[in-house]
Structure formats: structure tokens, C-alpha cells
Amino acid sequence: MPELPEVETTRRGIEPLVAGARVERVVVRERRLRWPIPWQVERKLTGARMLGVRRRAKYLLLESERGTAIAHLGMSGSFSVVAVGTEPDIHDHYDMVFDGGKALRFTDPRKFGSLLWGGREPLRHKLLADLGPEPFSAEFSGAWLKACSLGRRVAVKSFLMMPAVVAGVGNIYASEALYRAGIHPRRSAGRIALRRYDRLASAIRGVLSEAIEVGGTTLRDFADARGRPGYFSQRLDVYDRAGRNCRRCGSEIRRCVIGQRASYYCLRCQT
């Protein structure tokens, strides 16, 4: 599933097309995605001037003068920029057609993506209202993580993936950040000292920043708006490297399952 860096890479790719363009029409070929696409999207966006694209966690906010559409890539979704009139494939579920002869096309083989209407106050939508701080915001820090962890016995790996704790950190980057911070993914979140959470907050920002710089991580089918894969997979230290040597100490990378998700770690470097 695309995580924060992949979504941010997508946002940066489609922003030049979207910002300032006028929507001529919205063509919905398949309404039955994770949730049905509401008719409001076509009705509100048709004829509207687009203001830009923001990101909140793993959601894209397509802002117009009439309100905001909220898009999610799901497990296999992607946006591409195509010329108006380009014949759609079977998994091309909707197009936003703009006045400059280009269209924003959403493709999703597994249909777990979504397009919803957020109105004038999209951050109050039920999908966004209870999200925690963005990793790059001033509100996010080791002190914030420590405060959220008090009394929690859950594994720190699962703790990091709670949307109310920090927005947008998923399976891949949680594993990578814990490795950089030297914290075992099974360690109880409530038993980690503040100084270690300070290191972890810094590691989260660092790994996300580096992934954004190289366009995210391609493990299966992520590509940006121009069809280019992400290259952070070449820099992964532990994720999907079970049985290989740790780049730092040479020990074998281990795999375990935490919260029904595959987790990777170095037994020597992470305690």
C-alpha cells in the first residue's frame, strides 16, 4: 500500500496540472471503489476552478473553489496525467478532465482506493478528523510520542502505525525508522524512554524525507504520476531483507509478524 512518501510524490506530480485548471467534467466509469463515489464529486467539481492539491496523512485533498474532494490510493491505486481522449483500460476508474486538454486519471486494479467529497472543511471529514500530527509538523516530537505511549503495552511498531499517534507512517517506514533508532519493534511502547523517542521521532522524519527525495518505495506496483517507480527500495535497511546481512553489524535480518503485519529487524542493533 502506498505510504506517506508515495502519496507526497504523487501530490507533487499532479499539482502542476491541477492548480489553476478548470474542470470541464468528471468521468466516473466505476463508482464502486472502497466506498461508492458520491454524485457530489461530479456535480460540485464540474465547471469549478481548482486551487491545488494538499496531503493529509495518506490522503490527497483536491481543492477547488467549491470545496474539496478527498482521494486515497488504496492498495494499488495511482494517478496519471493523460491527454483528453486517451482510451481507458479496464482498471481506469475515473478521470478529471481539465480545460487545458489534459486529464487526471485514477487507476486501481484492486479497487481499494476512494474518492469522496469533503466540502468546505475537509479536515473535519470523519476520515481525517481524528488523525495525529504530521511527521514534519512542529507538534510531532519525541515528547509527543512519549506522552501518547504512557500506559500502553502494545508493541511500538503497532503504536507507530496508529493514525491518532502520527499521520501517515505505515509498515515499511515504521520498520525502517525503528531500525535507525535502534529500537526493537516488539518492545512495549509504554516502556521506552523519552531520549529513545527523541531518536525515533528524528528517524521517522529522516527516513520519510529521504524516501520522498527519491520518489518513494516500489515493492509491487507503485509509480508516480509520470509512471516512474520509486527508488527508496534500494536504500531499505531491514524491510523485506529477511535472511540478509545487516548493513551496520553484519548480523542476519529477522522477520516476525506484529499486528498481522510483517516486521523486520536486526536482533543485535535493535533492543
| pLDDT tens-digit map of 105-118 | 999 999 999 999 99
| pLDDT tens-digit map of 157-209 | 999 999 999 999 999 999 999 999 999 999 999 999 999 999 999 999 999 99
Which are the catalytic amino acids? Answer: 2-3, 58, 261
- Residue 168: CB atoms within 10 A of its CB come to 24
The pLDDT of residue 230? 42
Among the residues of the chain, which ranges form H helices? 4-18, 39-45, 142-149, 156-160, 171-181, 194-213
- Residue 40: CB atoms within 10 A of its CB come to 15
Core vs surface per residue 189-205: b (16+ CB within 10 A) or e = beebeeebbbbbbebbb
Residue 53 near residue 15, CB atoms below 8 Å: yes
pTM of this prediction exceeds 0.85 = yes
If one looks up domain 4-129 in CATH, what number appears? 3.20.190.10
Give me the residues of the chain with pLDDT under 70, please: 1, 215-234
- Listed by start position, the domains of the chain span 4-129, 142-266
The pLDDT of residue 231? 40
142-266 belongs to CATH 1.10.8.50: yes
